[in-house]
């Protein structure tokens, strides 16, 4: 009986040592690339543990060999545990290959997405050092514009060209009833659903601000209902220190019907409308400067995608990764475009800055900018949220926000 227990012990020690060896391997490799998650001291500790586990693995093999003629464990138990141990080992190897292998796709996605969320930089800093992060960001960025938009480029009296000369995107935008305030076009981006609303009377666009400003944000569908708005999308970014602001504090400049709601030269450039319904994009020079330029409504976010008909220079994916996105644009004929793109269920897909720019160009925008994204990306039609935001816990829900673009 004693010898049989040695046989069983050898098998269990073999399984345990394999799991421990690959666990140590993962931690050692991570420690070589990042000191935020695992310090150099702990690296040496894990190296020592790994050496000890290799010794335990060898001893377990000896025990099994010396007792091979004794009673074996049940076959189903051997197969099940052996399969699980092998699966764990393969999982560890796959994890390291994805993080540090030659394929740059995952590294680019993680670093560019995390570093531009403002609040979740540690997601990539756990696994990569500053040099690796800088190298990825240097190959994925969008250049800032040196110019503001020129309102004179918008002509609300532009005549429609001959329908025979229009492409499908133009026909989708221009084919509407005379009394139709807006229409929503559905399509997909990287396998995710996108919603493009064409607003035919931009003079009806205004800004909604949470009624609990300074205390909490507000769900966009509640803001839409309270303002009797048939169409609404999220607008500017917001401060979120320690992830507890609840969307109560808008970032940068916020102006609502010429009233200054927030005023800071940080938080992104200025995006808004003048009294004629012209979309204006400009550098952030403060709220008073924005009022002097003619802004009636304004928020801060960005980056700009198209200014005065010229698309931004974007290298790689633009440095913002893939995520649920919201963007706003305006065509030369004055039609305003509201764009919302969902992410997938695990929030690894969605749209990049390149995707947003290409969509806005396709539908004729001469000015366009990125708005707040992620869980904030929402489009509400007739009081109902038509897209599917997903939060970091995988729940299909949005969050409170400070500002929204609405039609009144």
Q: What is the longest distance spanned by two Cα atoms in the chain?
A: 96
Cα gap 331→365, rounded to integer Å = 4
Cα gap 286→297, rounded to integer Å = 14
Structure tokens at 240: 């979120």
Cα gap 128→109, rounded to integer Å = 13
Cα gap 369→145, rounded to integer Å = 11
For the chain, give every domain's residue range.
2-102, 107-139, 145-407
Amino acid 333: pLDDT: 96
Structure tokens at 145: 């514009």
Which residues, other chains included, contact 288 with Cβ-Cβ below 8 Å and sequence gap of 6+?
Answer: 260, 263
Amino acid 117: pLDDT: 62
pLDDT by residue (tens digit) across 142-173?
A: 999 999 999 999 999 888 777 888 899 999 99
Amino acid 2: pLDDT: 46
Rounded to two decimals, the pTM is 0.85
Which parts of the chain sit beneath pLDDT 50? 1-3, 118
Amino acid 158: pLDDT: 84
Question: Would you call 33 helix, strand, or coil by DSSP?
Answer: helix
CB 366 within 8 A of CB 158: no
Parallel, antiparallel or unpaired: strands 314-315 and 325-331: unpaired
Q: Is 252 left (phi over 0), alpha (psi -120 to 50) or beta?
A: left
Which residues, other chains included, contact 102 with Cβ-Cβ below 8 Å and sequence gap of 6+?
Answer: none
Structure tokens at 260: 């200054």
Amino acid 311: pLDDT: 97
pLDDT by residue (tens digit) across 271-289?
A: 999 999 999 999 999 999 9
Cα gap 94→242, rounded to integer Å = 33
Cα gap 218→216, rounded to integer Å = 7
Amino acid 150: pLDDT: 97
pLDDT by residue (tens digit) across 311-331?
A: 999 999 999 989 999 999 999
């Amino acid at each position: 009986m004693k010898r049989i227990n040695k046989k069983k012990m050898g098998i269990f020690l073999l399984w345990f040592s394999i799991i421990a060896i690959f666990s140590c391997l993962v931690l050692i490799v991570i420690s070589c690339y990042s000191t935020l998650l695992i310090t150099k001291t702990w690296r040496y500790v894990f190296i020592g543990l790994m050496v000890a586990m290799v010794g335990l693995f060898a001893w377990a093999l000896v025990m099994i060999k010396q007792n091979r003629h004794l009673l074996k464990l049940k076959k189903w138990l051997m197969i099940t545990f052996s399969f699980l141990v092998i699966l764990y080992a393969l999982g560890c190897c796959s994890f390291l290959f994805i993080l540090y292998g030659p394929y740059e796709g995952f590294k680019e996605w993680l670093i560019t997405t995390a570093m531009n969320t403002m609040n979740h930089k540690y997601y990539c800093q756990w696994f990569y050092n500053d040099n690796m992060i800088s190298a990825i960001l240097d190959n994925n960025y969008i250049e800032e514009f040196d110019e503001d938009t020129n309102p004179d480029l918008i002509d609300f009296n532009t005549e429609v060209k001959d329908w025979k000369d229009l492409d499908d995107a133009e026909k989708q935008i221009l084919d509407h009833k005379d009394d139709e305030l807006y229409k929503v076009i559905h399509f997909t981006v990287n396998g995710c659903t996108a919603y493009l609303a064409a607003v035919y009377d931009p003079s009806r666009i205004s800004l909604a601000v949470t009624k609990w400003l300074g205390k909490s944000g507000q769900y966009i569908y509640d803001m839409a209902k309270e303002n009797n708005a048939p169409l609404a999308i999220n607008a500017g970014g917001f401060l979120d220190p320690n992830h507890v602001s609840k969307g109560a504090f808008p970032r940068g400049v916020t102006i609502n019907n010429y009233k200054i709601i927030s005023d800071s030269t940080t938080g992104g450039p200025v995006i808004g409308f003048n009294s004629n319904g012209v979309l204006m994009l400009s550098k952030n020079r403060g709220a008073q400067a924005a009022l002097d330029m003619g802004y009636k409504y304004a928020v801060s976010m960005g980056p700009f995608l198209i200014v005065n008909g010229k698309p931004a220079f974007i290298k790689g994916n633009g440095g913002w990764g893939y995520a649920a996105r919201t963007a706003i644009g305006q065509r030369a004929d004055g039609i305003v475009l509201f764009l919302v793109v969902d992410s997938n269920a695990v929030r690894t897909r969605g749209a990049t800055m390149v995707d947003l720019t290409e969509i806005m160009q396709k539908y004729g925008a001469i000015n366009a900018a990125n708005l707040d994204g992620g869980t904030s990306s929402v489009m509400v039609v007739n009081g109902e949220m038509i897209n599917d935001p997903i939060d970091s816990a995988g729940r299909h829900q949005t969050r409170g926000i400070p500002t929204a673009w609405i039609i009144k």
